[in-house]
Amino acid sequence: MAQENSSIIIELVLLGFSNHPQAEIPLFLLFSGVYLVNLLGNTAIIILVVIDPCLQTPMYFFLCHLAFLNIFYTTAVVPKMLFNLLAPKKIISYELCLAQTYISLLMGAAECIILAIMALDRYVAICYPLRYLLIMNWSVCMRLAVGAWSISFFASVVPLYFTILPLCSPYIVDHIFCEAPVLLHMFCADTSLQETLMVIGASGTLLLPFLLITISYLRILVAVMKMHSAEGRKKIFSVCSSHLTVVTIYYGTGMFMYMRPKSLYSAEGDKLISLFYAVINPALNPLIYSLRNKEVTGALKRVLGRLSVSQRQMILS
């Protein structure tokens, strides 16, 4: 808790799942496993794209950004959550709480924009296959990546930084980590401006990318309907299904969390929603993209094959 008679907040109570103490150890084991899958899966995606020439294409370039984002986001949230599941005193420093809030906003906005860029990439690849590498050249990809991170920062972190208000006691965060919708309930003054800015920011970083994704897939659908080859349709569906699955899961939870009025807040329900998009979904992403993707599984087999050959050569030498 904060020191008494001091305007400086030192610590906050982070309740997490303290209302269910009997479940804390099973949850610790479960989330530790999910976090490990997240780290291994997303790191493997990045390594595969870097070392396998067949995966060094625009789609996998942006997939690397998504994998890095998943690792960074969960690393800002999960270790402290795991520590508090076992700690008798559930606390978080004020600085770490603010850091989690800024990081969750930045990563959430960046993921929306990167998913939209990946949808645009699929649209160009399917509708303009002969001009694909000319349109989505590396210069364009780099500009899109820099733009995605820059827009995310200025649309999410900067507005919060200039409008953040003092917190009111008791300094208790009834959540699993600190994020903007939760802090709104702890501000001492009227939060109408902050709520409006959050909705505007979410509109720019959630709705506009979602609109771009929708338009891209409608154009893809039109192109697919014009195809006479069933094999071609099946291939396009296989390429797009992974991305559509990730978009559906992420946007479904993100829109509910960041675009609803303050009156619809529910502590227990929001914990489950946040768990899904901040902890579980990042671990599912590499599985979704790899299990149904022949290029990724093929790259993995090639890398493992090269490692096996290298080991045999070392043994023989």
DSSP state of 153: I
Res 2 pLDDT > 60: no
The answer to whether position 4 is within a domain reads: no
What 128-137 contacts at long range (C-beta under 8 Å, 24+ apart), as own/partner pairs, is 136/58
CA distance 295 to 221: 23
CA distance 175 to 123: 39
The candidate with the shortest Cα–Cα distance to 105, out of 177, 39, 191, is 177
User: Does the bond joining 286 to the residue before it have cis omega, within 30 degrees of 0?
Assistant: no
pLDDT tens column, 153-204: 998 888 888 888 778 777 888 888 988 878 877 888 777 787 787 778 777 7
Domain count, the chain: 1
The answer to whether position 314 is within a domain reads: no
- Range of the structural domain that residue 114 is part of: 11-306
The answer to whether position 5 is within a domain reads: no
What's the sign of the alpha-carbon dihedral 29, 35, 38, 41?
negative
The answer to whether position 2 is within a domain reads: no
> How far from 271 is each of 95, 112, 174, 264, CA to CA, in Å?
21, 21, 9, 14
pLDDT of the residue at 316: 66
Q: Around 258, how many Cα atoms within 13 Å sit in the side-chain half-sphere?
A: 29
pLDDT tens column, 201-256: 777 788 889 899 999 999 988 888 887 777 777 777 777 888 888 888 887 776 66
CA distance 81 to 92: 10
Give me 81's structure tokens: 């959550």
The answer to whether position 311 is within a domain reads: no
Q: Which single residue is written with the structure tokens 């899966």?
A: 41
Dihedral of the CA atoms 240, 242, 245, 247 (nearest 10)? -70
Res 262 pLDDT > 50: yes
The answer to whether position 137 is within a domain reads: yes
Give alpha helix (H) positions in the chain: 24-51, 58-86, 94-127, 132-135, 138-152, 158-163, 180-183, 192-202, 208-225, 230-258, 267-275, 281-291, 294-316
What residue type is 103 in one-letter code? I
pLDDT tens column, 126-162: 889 889 989 999 999 999 999 999 999 998 888 888 8
Work out the percent of the chain whose per-residue pLDDT is above 90.
31
The answer to whether position 3 is within a domain reads: no
pLDDT tens column, 88-134: 888 999 889 999 999 998 998 999 999 999 999 999 998 898 899 89
CATH code at position 111: 1.20.1070.10
In degrees, to the nearest 5, what angle opens at C-alpha 35 toward C-alphas 46 and 68?
25
The answer to whether position 78 is within a domain reads: yes
pTM of the model: 0.85
pLDDT of the residue at 263: 60
